[in-house]
Amino acid sequence: MSDSREKNAKDCIEMGFLVKYGYLDQDHHTHNEAEVKAAVRDFQWLSHLPVTGRLDSDTLDKMASPRCGVKDEGGHDAWAHRVNAVFTGNLGKGGHHLRKKRYAQTGEKWYKRHLTYRVMNWPRHLSQGPVRLAVRTAFELWSNVSGLVFEEAGEGPADIRLAFYEGEHNDGIGNAFDGPGGALAHAFFPCRGEAHFDMAERWTLNGHKGHNLFLVTAHEIGHTLGLEHSPVRHALMSPYYKKLGRSLLLSWDDIAAIQKLYGKPSRGSVVQMPGQALRWAMHDWEMSQDSTEGSGTALPLYCQGLFDAITMDQNQTVLIFRGGLFWTVSSEGNVSSSIPLQQRWPHLPFAIDAAAFSPLDKKLYFFKGKRIWRYTGTDLDPDFPKKTRELGLPRQPDCAFFYGPLGHMIVFKGSRYFVLNLQTLHSEPYYPRRLADWKGVPQGANGALTHTDGRLYFFRERRYWTFDPGKVRVTGTGQWAGKLQWTGCHKVSPLESNDIL
């Protein structure tokens, strides 16, 4: 008896999910088995689960994971049409009428290109400056790839309004927020221009805990512009919450969908933003705050810990990479001004994953995405870039460095490391191995280098770890900007300058 009551309660929750997210029509109060099965199949298709029509444990887990509160409409037909348009080059040329609307009136658009927005209230544990910046960056993500232009409205009316609410907030019982987890936010299609965020979530802009407000805002903005959920797993418009990584934020499907509604950028070309875009924007903002407060000598941008890669060449010159720029620090500690990457290394892409100088062949190796570049001086070697897969290496490594004791290049990725033989240009047998071999070295380092002092240095955000190859373990750690003078971030304090005088 209690079993069947439990089952009824469970069924009720699942039916609730399928109705709430648009898989079952909410006008009918009973659904026959075939309808439910079809709804479950639709849900499984969009969620990249085996399409069985059965409510198995994977399907139930997926239903319980954090997601956007907007219905999953549009479905297979609209998506298939978009795929077609991408491959036939028919983007933005009519075809709108082919979209099959299953239930509600969606797929509307704004009939102007210049839109204003405003943040109506603020989340509890984040300050206004960074939130405002994150929202601006999220709008930029879309204006960079479409014909739209956004502007923050001060007081008064705005086309798109973003607000934080708790629980029931007057847009229907189905839209009531559910506390931490579950539905994180929802938004309305044009031209209502509203995006609502669950005040009860733990919102964050940098940490790993909580939900990234920048990503969720960028997704909800997509809805306010008329985009539906995408079945493409890596799409920003996929309904499920994703972690912010280093890869490009928009997938081809997101770009196809926005350009179908608003066309391509009227000036310049499509500019794609990588996952680090917000970190950089945040950092530049912090720097501008610093300089307006007149806190002393301006340090290079990378000094607060945000860089893509670091290495040291045979002259003991440190090279530090960030976005489309790099800096050099001479062995005497003189820092260059920022230099565009392509000025020294033609064809090198923006925002590399890792860089390493090899004293063996005096060449510089760069890693980015699925490829590897090798330069002799400023010349790209023939047959490069190569695919990392062909060398037996992973894509998007965390960091890379030349390791004297082995005479090979080491490539870190997540919890494993690879050993690249620079003569054969192939990964050594018996690798990858566990990172635990490097006793004390943290996972997820953003850079590493072999110093001419014989030791290795690993960097992750503001911290560094020194690894002694003789002792085969980490022997020191601290804040690198203050402690490692050769990084060029050592600030001369007034006291020290007095001493010199």
- d(CA 100, CA 78) in angstroms, rounded, equals 6
Taking the CA atoms of 422, 423, 425 and 428 in sequence, report the sign of the dihedral they define.
Answer: negative
Is 257 an interacting residue with respect to Zn ion (CB under 5 A)?
no
Q: How far is the CB of 305 from Zn ion (least distance, A)?
A: 32
Question: Nearest distance from residue 214's CB to Zn ion, in Å?
Answer: 15
Q: Which of 183, 179, 175, 180 is nearest to 239 (CA)?
A: 183
Reply yes or no: is the peptide bond before residue 12 cis, omega within 30 of 0: no
Q: Which two structure tokens, joined as six digits, stand for 298?
A: 């301006």
**Least separation, in Å, of the C-beta of 58 and Zn ion?**
21
Alpha carbon separation from 342 to 268, 276, 346 (Å, rounded): 19, 19, 5
Of 196 and 211, the one with the shorter C-beta distance to Zn ion is 196
Nearest distance from C-beta of residue 46 to Zn ion, angstroms:
12
Q: Which residue has the tokens 């299609």?
A: 189
Our CB check for Zn ion shows the closer of 261 and 364 to be 261
Q: Are the beta carbons of 232 and 57 closer than 8 angstroms?
A: no
Nearer residue to Zn ion within complex by CB, 82 or 196: 196
Distance CA 177, CA 332 (A): 58
Active-site residue, 194 included: no
What lies within 8 Å, CB to CB, of 136 at 6+ separation is 152, 281
In this chain, which stretch among 99-107, 165-173, 425-433, 485-493 interacts with Zn ion, using CB under 5 A? Answer: 165-173
Q: How far is the CB of 63 from Zn ion (least distance, A)?
A: 15
Distance, in Å, from the CA atom of 273 to the CA atom of 218, rounded to the nearest integer, reads 12
Q: State both tokens at 110.
A: 């704004």
User: Which segments are annotated as binding site?
Assistant: 68, 159, 169, 171, 178-179, 186, 196, 198, 201, 219, 223, 229, 237, 308, 310, 353, 355, 400
By CB under 5 A, the residues from 54 to 113 that bind Zn ion are 68, 70
Give the CA angle between residues 435, 438, 440 to the nearest 5°. 105
Window contacting Zn ion (CB under 5 A); options: 174-182, 257-265, 312-320, 409-417 = 174-182
List the catalytic residue out of 33, 140, 155, 220: 220
Residue 120 or 270: which CB sits closer to Zn ion? 120
**Of the candidate residues 99, 196, 211, 490, the single one contacting Zn ion (CB under 5 A):** 196
Q: If binding is defined by CB under 5 A, does position 435 make contact with Zn ion?
A: no
Q: Does 175 bind Zn ion (CB under 5 A)?
A: yes
Query: Is residue 171 a contact residue for Zn ion (CB under 5 A)?
Result: yes
Residues at the binding site for Ca(2+) are 159, 178-179, 198, 201, 308, 310, 353, 355, 400
Interface region with Zn ion, contact rule CB under 5 A, candidates 80-88, 196-204, 248-256, 328-336 = 196-204
- Find the shortest distance in angstroms from Cβ 147 to Zn ion: 22
* Binding residue count for Zn ion, defined by CB under 5 A: 5
Distance CA 41, CA 43 (A): 5
Rounded Cα distance between 125 and 177, Å, is 18
6 vs 166, beta carbon nearer Zn ion:
166
The answer to whether 235 contacts Zn ion (rule: CB under 5 A) is: no
Give the residue among 107, 460, 419, 413 at the shortest CA–CA distance from 310: 460
Nearer to Zn ion among residue 70 and residue 221 (C-beta): 70
Q: What residues contact 473, with CB distance under 8 A and at least 6 apart?
A: 439, 440, 467
| Piece of the chain touching Zn ion by CB under 5 A; list 82-90, 169-177, 256-264, 466-474 | 169-177
Judged by beta carbon, residue 70 or residue 441, the one nearer Zn ion is 70
**Contact in structure between 141 and 250 (CB atoms under 8 Å):** yes
- Site stretch for Zn ion (CB under 5 A), options 190-198, 251-259, 318-326, 478-486: 190-198
The per-residue DSSP string of 414-432 comes to TTEEEEEETTTTEEPTT--
Query: Cβ(203)–Cβ(220) under 8 Å?
Result: no
**CB of 211 closer than 8 Å to CB of 241:** yes
Query: Which residues contact Zn ion by CB under 5 A?
Result: 68, 70, 171, 175, 196
Residues designated catalytic: 220
